[in-house]
């Protein structure tokens, strides 16, 4: 069964290739490893379009280093993005700003501040709610579970997460929550055209969130909904290639090379990542579900503690 991407009628957005140097600045969401969320999309652009679009550039903006606790501060995230925007303003670039997950709110804040140079905004899986989507309760449960796993498995947890240490994870989650709460009011002040990317199965960027965000925005917005996709909507070309192409088309006017349809599969082939010793690295969710055999029973204890 094939289900098409749901795209609202274009209200007159500009999808033409730029006539001057243009950069797509991409902020990251919550990461447990050092690879930036937009790395796969940048690689796809460089392999497929860079030669034909020499005026265009993609720059992933790393807001924090997962394994470095001193970088886990919401004010620092804003400072880093501010400096990167200013860098390209001084170079005379037009800027397309993309915020992913929690940093969509931060991107909106900086667009308001730099409205003359940030001509387009892209919000990928934007987070607004912290209660309706159980974000706060989920973070608390995560903290309780994370503490127990660290005590139980020690260094094995860091290895499973592709990190050198588990230090700072709790502070990172709290700083992300502060960033959402501190910046989400700026959605209402955005004035430029905005493309919103939404996975139909996303539990964090909910339909409720999207309605709140869009009802508050002053500028025009265009919503693309992708069936079968969740909050991790920027992972690989194989799984998210059509998302990459839609983002690049809006930012740079690039053509679509991949199929326009999404085939919903109940079971997809799993690609296993290996560490330096050749051992499988579990996914983020598997840290809880596979490393801890008592996951389900202990989750009930955690809920009771809340």
Task: Please say whether the beta carbons of 139 and 172 come within 8 A.
Answer: no
The domain limits of the chain are 2-134+183-260
pLDDT at 28 over 90: yes
For the residues 35-47, what does the mean pLDDT come to?
95
- Dist CA 286 CA 281 (whole Å): 9
Burial class from Cβ neighbours inside 10 Å (0-12, 13-18, 19+) for residue 305 reads exposed
The residues, ordered by sequence, that sit 6+ positions from 68 with a Cβ below 8 Å of its Cβ are 168
Per-residue confidence band for 280, with pLDDT thresholds at 50, 70 and 90: low
Q: Which of 33-37, 64-68, 282-286 comes out lowest in average pLDDT? A: 282-286
In 3D space, the residue among 297, 295, 277 whose CA is nearest the CA of residue 287 turns out to be 295
Question: Which residue, chain included where needed, has tokens 């670039």?
Answer: 93
In the 8-state DSSP scheme, what is residue 102?
Answer: T
pLDDT at 157 over 80: no
So what's the pLDDT on residue 137?
64
Strand, coil or helix: what is 49?
coil
Q: What is the CATH number of domain 2-134+183-260?
A: 3.40.50.1820
Integer CA distances (angstroms), 48 to 19, 42, 95, 230, 241, in order: 20, 10, 21, 25, 12
pLDDT digits (tens, 9 = 90+) for 108-142: 999 999 999 999 999 999 998 776 556 666 556 66
């Amino acid at each position: 069964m094939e289900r098409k991407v749901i795209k609202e009628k274009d209200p007159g957005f500009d999808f033409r290739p730029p006539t001057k140097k243009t950069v797509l600045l991409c902020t990251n969401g919550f990461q447990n490893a050092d690879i930036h969320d937009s790395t796969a999309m940048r690689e796809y652009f460089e392999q497929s379009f860079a030669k034909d679009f020499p005026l265009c550039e993609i720059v992933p903006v790393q807001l924090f280093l997962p394994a470095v606790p001193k970088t886990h501060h919401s004010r620092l995230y804003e400072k880093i993005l501010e400096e990167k925007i200013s860098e390209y303003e001084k170079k005379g670039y037009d800027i397309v700003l993309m915020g992913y997950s929690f940093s969509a709110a931060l991107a909106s804040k900086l667009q308001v501040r730099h409205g003359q140079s940030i001509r387009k905004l892209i919000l990928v899986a934007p987070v607004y709610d912290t209660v309706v989507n159980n974000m706060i309760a989920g973070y608390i449960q995560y903290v309780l579970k994370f503490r127990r796993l660290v005590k139980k498995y020690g260094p094995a947890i860091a290895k499973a997460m592709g990190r050198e240490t588990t230090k700072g994870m709790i502070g990172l989650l709290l700083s992300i929550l502060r960033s959402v709460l501190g910046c989400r009011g700026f959605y209402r002040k955005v004035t430029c055209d905005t493309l919103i990317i939404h996975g139909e199965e996303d539990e964090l960027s909910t339909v409720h969130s999207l309605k709140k965000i869009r009802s508050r925005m002053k500028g025009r917005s265009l919503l693309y909904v992708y069936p079968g996709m969740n909050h991790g909507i920027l992972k690989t070309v194989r799984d998210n290639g059509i998302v990459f192409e839609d983002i690049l088309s809006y930012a740079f006017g690039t053509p679509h090379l991949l199929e326009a349809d999404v085939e919903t599969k109940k079971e997809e082939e799993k690609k296993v990542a290996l560490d330096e010793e050749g051992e499988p690295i579990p996914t983020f969710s598997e840290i809880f579900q596979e490393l801890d055999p008592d996951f389900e029973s202990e989750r009930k204890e955690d809920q009771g503690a809340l």
